[in-house]
Structure 1
Amino acid sequence: MHEGNDLPEGRGVWVRKRRKGIYILPNLFTLAALFGGFYAIVMAVNNRFELAAAGVFCAMVLDSLDGRVARMTNTQSAFGEQMDSLSDMVSFGAAPGLIAYMWALQGLGRWGWIASFVYCACAALRLARFNVNTGVVDKRYFQGLPSPAAAALVAGFIWLMTDAGVRPGEDGRLSWDSITWIMFAFTLYAGLTMVTNVPFYSFKDLQMKKSVPFAAIVLIALGIAVINIHPPIVLFGVFVLYGLSGYVVYAVRKSRGQQTSVISTSTDEPDERGLHQ
């Protein structure tokens, strides 16, 4: 007798088929990032917006690690890639849009949920385009603002305001109506910038396994110290600068007559090329 998943090989020899599995280590980081996005949504529902923003930032850190861990341990897989995209959609698409709506945008009525939906839809489109164009995009740049950075713009502004004691419905130095429209602008800017062709530096050409000058370690230590001065202000400022950097690169390339598209090779689908001019 032999089990149903055995295959004959030669005369009288039966070989059990090897069952396909998934790699645990990188997918644990992906699941942890997904939990960060889910936690952010739960905290927003409970009106704990500072914790909701922190959940998004924790998801960002974990999302940056899963791919590196997979490459370092040689455990890349198609399953992991799909899992990462689905996790990103929750943590950097649905969660920031919902947090922004519940914190301020619901006061704008239909304009508020439209802005939240535009952000969420653009995150989905950006992730889908990234998956399709993986093989043809210059690895040094992202095509459009990456979704974690877009989420950092939205969640970072909320974190900054809540840290400063700004509460929904309360007027301080700025009226709550002004803050609501600023949130509206950040949400639309982050969402629409994700689906542009503007190049954003990806930092993927930095090799972690190579030796670096001693001064580089000193600069990293200084960077950590600066962040700890006031994390909400420093981190939000860093992501605002990054969110503008792509347009600066685009303008410089345009002024010099250089190619502004990050598509490095042609695709097999002729209709795709027209999207990247």
Structure 2
Amino acid sequence: MYDARGRWPRRRLAAGLSVRAIVPNAITAAALCSGLTGIRFAIAGDFEKSVQAVIVAALLDGIDGRAARLLKAETRFGAELDSLADAISFGVAPALIVYLWTLNALPGLGWIAALAFAICCVLRLARFNARLDMLDQPHKSAGFLTGVPAPLGAGLAFLPMYLWIGTSRPEFANPVVVSLWMLINAFLMISNLPTLSWSRLSPPRGVRIGLIALVGLTVSALLIEPWLTLVGLTVFYLALLPLGLITYLRVKRQGFPAKATPAGASAALPDDGAH
């Protein structure tokens, strides 16, 4: 029906979600389905596909926030949906995949390590949501994140699997070592360690052309030798952790102004998937 002005009324969903907001939230739903499908592959014993499914979920997770901003469809609903999807795709799914892969050889310690990883991921996301409207966030105001983001935490947790698949060496599936590795990653996610965000990654002008070439070569390496390339990318990120801490301490000594974020400003993905 036409409205009083003779125009079609703007179509909205029953809960107040605009039609335009469907796109970023559909991407979030796709990421959730990809993470859950990773569990299905792990149950079937196809661990390569299970890891690939979680990686696809991480890629989609990095897109939905940007799509929301591009379409000006940032909503609190999207932010909550994204966190719930992340809890499953990057908390529950990696924990179950790694447990079905090797941790089930240690029903006690292995399950505790899997539980610790999953619950720490959920706690991180809950902390992130609780701070959405907080104005005083020293790490964020200086351009840093707090702890390892959930998608990257999942990627780090899979490091032993990358090595196991890429080299076919059974020692990388040692359940004791993998359990300890899962516990370390669980701690990194809920820690107060300042980590570098995209806004801090600003290479000098002189190397930017070379950086473009490096990205192209990395994509080629992922197509040719994906698992060992993932090992290299994971090790590179681990090397950035102490660099992030050193950079933050230097910035803190120099002093930085607090950047107030307007209360109520929310998005489908407030930090481009870095929560």
Q: Tell me the TM-score normalised to structure 1 length.
A: 0.76
**Take 1:194 and 1:132, find their aligned partners in 2: how far apart are those partners?**
16
Q: Report if aligned partners of 1:156, 1:232 keep a CA contact under 8 Å in 2.
A: no
Please state whether the residue corresponding to 2:158 is helix, strand or coil. Answer: helix
Q: What's the counterpart of residue 186 of structure 1?
A: 181
Q: Distance in 1 between matches of 2:229 and 2:10?
A: 54
Supply the distance in 2 between the matched residues of 1:165 and 1:113 (Cα, whole angstroms): 24
Aligned partners of 1:60, 1:82: CA distance in 2, in Å? Answer: 17
Q: Report the equivalent of 1:233.
A: 228
- Structure 1 letter corresponding to 2:48: E
SS at match of 1:142: strand
Map of 2:238 onto structure 1: 243
Distance 1:139 1:226, change over 3 A: farther
Which residue type is aligned with residue 148 of structure 2? L
For the pair 1:103 / 2:106, whether they are aligned, the reply is no
- The alignment-based identity, stated in percent, is 32
Q: Go from structure 1 to structure 2 and tell me whether the alpha carbon gap of 1:237 and 1:219 turns closer, same or farther (over 3 Å shift).
A: closer
Separation in 1 of the partners of 2:201 and 2:244?
19
State the SS of the aligned residue for 2:148. coil
> Per-residue deviation at 1:201?
1.2
Change (3 A) 1:159 1:214: closer
After superposition, residues 44-123 of structure 1 pair within 5 angstroms as 44-123=42-121
Q: Is the 8 A contact 1:49 1:159 kept in 2?
A: no
State the shift of 1:195 in Å.
0.7
Distance in 1 between the 2:257 and 2:159 partners? 30
Specify whether residues 21 and 162 from structure 1 end up closer, same or farther in structure 2 by C-alpha distance, changes over 3 A only.
same
Alignment of 1:12-27 (within 5 A): 19=12, 20-22=16-18, 23-27=21-25
Q: Cα gap change, 1:181/1:138 in structure 2, threshold over 3 Å: closer, same or farther?
A: farther
Q: C-alpha separation between the residues in 2 aligned to 1:182 and 1:131?
A: 32
Does structure 1 retain, via aligned residues, the 8 Å contact 2:29–2:85?
Answer: yes
User: Could you say what the CA RMSD is over the residues aligned between the two structures, in angstroms?
Assistant: 3.5
Q: Which has the higher contact order (CA 8 A, sep 6+)?
A: 2
In 2, Cα distance between the equivalents of 1:80 and 1:266?
22
**Equivalent-residue separation in structure 2 for 1:139 and 1:147 (angstroms):** 20
Deviates more, 1:233-242 or 1:75-84: 233-242
SS at match of 2:145: strand
Unaligned runs of 5+ in 2: 262-275
Alignment of 1:198-213 (within 5 A): 198-204=193-199
Task: For residue 229 of structure 1, report the CA deviation from its aligned partner.
Answer: 4.0
Q: Which amino acid aligns with 2:101?
A: W
Which amino acid letter does the alignment assign opposite residue 196 of structure 2? Y
1:145 maps to which of 144, 148, 156: 148
Structure 1 residues without counterparts, runs of 5 or longer: 1-8, 10-15, 167-171, 268-277
Contact 1:139 1:202 (8 Å CA) reproduced: no
C-alpha deviations, 1:61-106, integer Å up to 9, x for none? Answer: 0100001111112111111111100110000000011111111111
Alpha-carbon distance in structure 1 between the residues aligned to 2:64 and 2:52:
19
Whether 2:150 is the aligned partner of 1:128: answer: no
Greater Rg over alpha carbons, structure: 1
Relative to structure 1, is the Cα distance of residues 139 and 30 closer, same or farther in structure 2, using a 3 angstrom cutoff?
Answer: farther
Q: CA deviation at 1:164?
A: 2.9
- Report the number of matched residues: 246
Question: TM-score under structure 2 normalisation?
Answer: 0.76
Match of 2:33 in 1: 35
Q: Distance in 2 between matches of 1:257 and 1:241?
A: 22
Q: Which position in structure 1 is the counterpart of 2:265? A: none
**Comparing 131-140 and 193-202, the one that deviates more:** 131-140
2:157 aligns to what?
A: 154
CA contact (8 A) 1:70 1:76 kept: yes
- CA 266–214 in structure 1, closer or farther in 2 if over 3 Å, else same: closer
Q: Secondary structure at the match of 1:75?
A: coil
